[in-house]
Structure 1
């Protein structure tokens, strides 16, 4: 499978998110984190991600006679970059996947007993901005300048993971 095919699936993308920040998790921990996904599906998708070199086995230990593996992101995993041309249908699938992941992760957050949307600064907004090509590039450069250094953060004292999902596309052409 290509990186595009691997990542354009909601369960696989949720697994990738769950392992971000250098975290290792067992299949059981991933299943606990995604109770809406059948265990067999989690195991199948883990296998595909390992085969596709997105994940690697971090540790193995014996638990009640079985081998329990922990998984982590491969440091040199393939990615979908700006130079990877996606077809229109792959863009449709990618957007649908991103929305499915957002809905699943948001519901998982709200289902936590300690969910406090106001205290956690939960937000979702939509705005229309009118931009020239130069203004668009300046906005994107500014966004990258703010987010890129923070994306390198790892789990630590006082840090919580936040899912940031900027969505940008041209709106309907004016009349």
Structure 2
């Protein structure tokens, strides 16, 4: 990824475009306009172009539609990440802006779910929770590896009858330390 991958990927609209492709999807700009209907078409086209120029999206097919060329895009997942070096170099303000973009995209996804008909969180297996636990750094790395191992087969499985595309979003933070006696 280029030195500007954080700037490229962590823009709120571009982040939502990238997230629309998760699950090895191939989408046209018309598909994206339906999924991101709140984004003006000119803005959407400009951000898709930036992601293509940055190597994050590639054209997988083209066809003529009413005198214009419709392109189908695919996400390069390996190019849709911010490097460890870039993360370390980001300021607290940069991280705040990136996290805000992430949360805004998550809120937009949830809004689309709620606005998409008759939401039934139990039927649709939708949930949002927070769990607190104690772990050493080594134990936490084991938790992360176990979650990755559990999800990996589903990341590789493509669409099929009976399968619903799911979004798993995670945030892992250390909880604030207690300032009073922890033994109380």
Partner of 2:108: 104
Unaligned runs of 5+ in 1: none
Counting only pairs closer than 5 Å after superposition, residues 51-90 of structure 1 correspond to structure 2 as 51-74=53-76, 77=79, 79-82=81-84, 84-86=86-88, 87=90, 88-90=92-94
**Is 1:94 the equivalent of 2:98?**
yes
Residue of structure 1 in register with 2:120 after alignment: 116
What corresponds to 1:27 in structure 2? 29
CA–CA separation in structure 1 for the residues paired with 2:148 and 2:32: 30
Of 154, 170, 173, which residue of structure 2 is paired with 1:169?
173
User: How far apart are the structure 1 equivalents of 2:128 and 2:119?
Assistant: 16
1:140 aligns to 2:141 (yes or no): no
Moved more, 165-174 or 108-117: 108-117
User: How large is the RMSD of aligned CA atoms in angstroms?
Assistant: 1.9
Deviation at 1:160, TM superposition (A): 1.1
1:68-97 residue CA offsets vs partner (Å, 9 max, x unmatched): 112111366353244543323332122111
CA gap of 1:29–1:162, structure 2 versus 1, over 3 A, is: same
Deviations 1:86-125 (A, max 9, x none): 3233321221111001000111111112533211111001
Per-residue deviation, 1:136: 1.6
Query: Which position in structure 1 is the counterpart of 2:162?
Result: 158
DSSP 3-state at the match of 2:124: coil
Measure, in 2, the Cα distance between the counterparts of 1:170 and 1:159.
34
